[in-house]
Structure 1
Amino acid sequence: MITTESKAYEGLYQGEKAVWLSYGRYEAAVLPEIGGNLIAFRDKEKGYRFLHEPAEEEMESFKEKPIIHGIPVLFPPNRYEDGKFPWNGACYQLPVNEPSTGNHLHGFLHNIPWTVEQYAADEYASRITLVQQVREGHPVYRYLPHEFTIKLSYVLSDLGLQQHIVVRNDGTDTMPCLLAFHTSINAPFAPGSTAADYKFTMTTGKRWELNDRMLPTGQFQPLKPEEELMKSTGISPFFEPMDNHYTSEPQNGRNRMELTDTRLQVTLVYDVGTAFKHWMIWNNNATEGFFCPEPQINLVNAPSVSLPAEQIGLLSLAPGEIWEETGRLYFIERKN
């Protein structure tokens, strides 16, 4: 019986320790020591590279600021005014690490080592699970003094790349659960194509108004005609500079971004799951090459926004409770 080649093994990625997953035509690489970042997802047969990977000469700057490559984990995500994080009558002080706005940006999990719980391969898939167990003494506990566990799993199979994230409250008091992925997608992802060959759609809803510190005012902005096209027939991911924040509005039961190579009639689907109630989208000042459709549980600066918690995704976990979501990256070849 012929079986699909499936492997999971330790190796190197641009000189850094990596765990590689391989299944049939697909391969992926995870960097446990750099934020548990899934840095590569590729189709070896077609030469597709779906994620924005750092070039060899970019590795030092990537390690210093591992945000715009691969799939960084943001916890808590995006910006918090003056680094303040009010929660259940207390106020946590996060470091102000974005001097231009005076805010805290992007949390604490994208640039620290993760523990590899297991990796394995069989005839059905190759897989890896990484874990953060936050207790007193953990670098995250200093700023978010709660005991909790985060598990991040990737499974590579003939269905593409599955991602599963779990947050469990291991402590004795209610904790915030605010998370996003700063997913960085190549456009173009196919050899021989250009950015002009690409258009994308996204299940965005309303656009949040942001002030000059990139914090939400609590109001919505009217959508431009091009933003309406994002929700329907599609538009270039570089139609204008974007650093925008939207509600999510699932279509046909799914919450996703689709990026189509119109030359090849190939569509990359990034289905993130409906638990993510918000999207960020950032395109590096409309610089062709990659853009970041970022699924986000919560509104930017949510703990300081006076709107209903359910509306802004200000999620809490009671002791012992679990939050989880599953997403997938895969592609569809359209028939002409």
Structure 2
Amino acid sequence: MEILAYEGQFEGEAAVWLKAGRYEAAVLPETGGNLIAFRDTKNGFRFLREPGEDGIETFKQSPGVYGIPVLFPPNRYEDGKFPWNGQVYQLPVNEAATGNHLHGFLHTVAWQVEEFGSGKHESYVTVTIKVDENHPSYKYYPFEYTVKLRYGLSEAGLSQQVLIHNDGKADMPCLLAFHTAVNAPFAPESSASDYRVKITIGKRWELNERMLPTGNYQPLGPEEVKLREEGVNPFFAPLDNHYTAVPQNGRNRMELTDTKLGVTLVYDAGTSYKQWMVWNNGATEGFFCPEPQINLVNAPNMDLPGDEIGLFSLKPGEFWEETARFYVKGL
């Protein structure tokens, strides 16, 4: 089995490519450390939404809806306000429709390639970003930290390890999500109607007209119960919904099955993510985003227990890390 890692191009952008047997993947360090492609070249499967016909410039304008973007801090904050330890930090209001801050700072900026290589069983790449007082985002979010992402590719699929370290002298909030954009269909001979998705959701948070949680729950509809249980078509209705994550059989995951081929893509996100966002671009067939998220949307502005809403801190020198894996069943 051919296993290698090398620097190359992805539609004209600097990329690190990984190959392992039938799988290949590409990371774009200069645009958010985004893992922009994960493919099965033997079967022609493309599991993640790539710029493709949209072009790389369209991707750069909306990097949150391709590949695996890193959201830090993730999702929406009311009026851009971020209260923390007696201070209120002002994030830029970058979503005019809601008057909120959206998706943080890391998915649009350049990361550094720390290392890449290959061994007997796996190819890998590690990219990092270090934020201190010299980073443009520090004036809004004045914490010093390092985020490190390692992707590995093997015959077992794609592994992801994310690590956050508090480099500063004060407690910092540890809020993170991945706006993972999954293709449906991922097989060229299949259609969106062939697909069923299952996600380990629990309760649905009620969102107000600004897409912010009220603190209350809403009952799941019949199709959402199927989403949690036996699976449902990803485009059964427009989805921009926020759910608690409730592991099943010890795992917190999304499973996307091509019923025509009998193949399932498993996205095992890890149990540190206590929430899911599920977004399907207005039920537009082609891709959807199962987004594992540490924290409730707008968590610092919510009067709810920190452990319930995933609002926690890293003390100076502390680490947080989690692993995830994409793999395929049925081949």
For Structure 1 versus Structure 2, the TM-score category normalised by the shorter chain is over 0.9
Return the offset for 1:117.
Answer: 0.3
Cα deviations by residue, 1:122-166 (Å, 9 ceiling, x for unpaired): 221000000011111112212111111110000001110000000
AA matched with 2:20: Y
Q: Give me the whole-angstrom Cα distance separating, in 1, the residues matched to 2:55 and 2:298.
A: 31
Which residue in 1 is equivalent to 2:30?
Answer: 33
Cα deviations by residue, 1:65-88 (Å, 9 ceiling, x for unpaired): 201100000000000000000000
1:45 correspondence with 2:42 = yes
1:318 pairs, out of 301, 312, 315, with 315
Aligned 8 A contact 1:14 1:56 in 2: no
1:309 pairs, out of 292, 300, 306, with 306
User: Where in structure 1 are there 5+ consecutive unaligned residues?
Assistant: none
AA matched with 1:118: E
Using the size of structure 1 for normalisation, the TM-score is: 0.97
1:328 correspondence with 2:325 = yes
Return the offset for 1:51.
Answer: 0.2
Q: Percent identity?
A: 65
User: Where in structure 2 are there 5+ consecutive unaligned residues?
Assistant: none
Q: Give me the whole-angstrom Cα distance separating, in 1, the residues matched to 2:216 and 2:55.
A: 39
1:82-97 to structure 2, matched below 5 A, reads 82-97=79-94
Cα deviations by residue, 1:245-277 (Å, 9 ceiling, x for unpaired): 000000000000000000000000000000000
Which residue in 1 is equivalent to 2:224?
Answer: 227
1:11 correspondence with 2:1 = no
Aligned with 1:67: secondary structure? helix
Which residue in 2 is equivalent to 1:54?
Answer: 51
Return the offset for 1:56.
Answer: 4.4
Using the size of structure 2 for normalisation, the TM-score is: 0.99
Aligned 8 A contact 1:28 1:42 in 2: yes
Aligned with 1:311: secondary structure? helix
1:287 pairs, out of 279, 284, 288, with 284
Q: Give me the whole-angstrom Cα distance separating, in 2, the residues matched to 1:49 and 1:179.
A: 25
1:211 correspondence with 2:208 = yes
1:275 correspondence with 2:268 = no
Which residue in 2 is equivalent to 1:165?
Answer: 162
Greater shift, 325-334 or 253-262, is seen at 325-334
Count of aligned pairs: 331
1:198 correspondence with 2:195 = yes
1:140 correspondence with 2:137 = yes
Q: Give me the whole-angstrom Cα distance separating, in 2, the residues matched to 1:86 and 1:5.
A: 50
Aligned with 2:234: secondary structure? coil
Give the root-mean-square deviation of aligned CA atoms.
0.8
Q: Give me the whole-angstrom Cα distance separating, in 1, the residues matched to 2:160 and 2:136.
A: 25
Q: Give me the whole-angstrom Cα distance separating, in 1, the residues matched to 2:206 and 2:111.
A: 35
Q: Give me the whole-angstrom Cα distance separating, in 2, the residues matched to 1:261 and 1:65.
A: 27
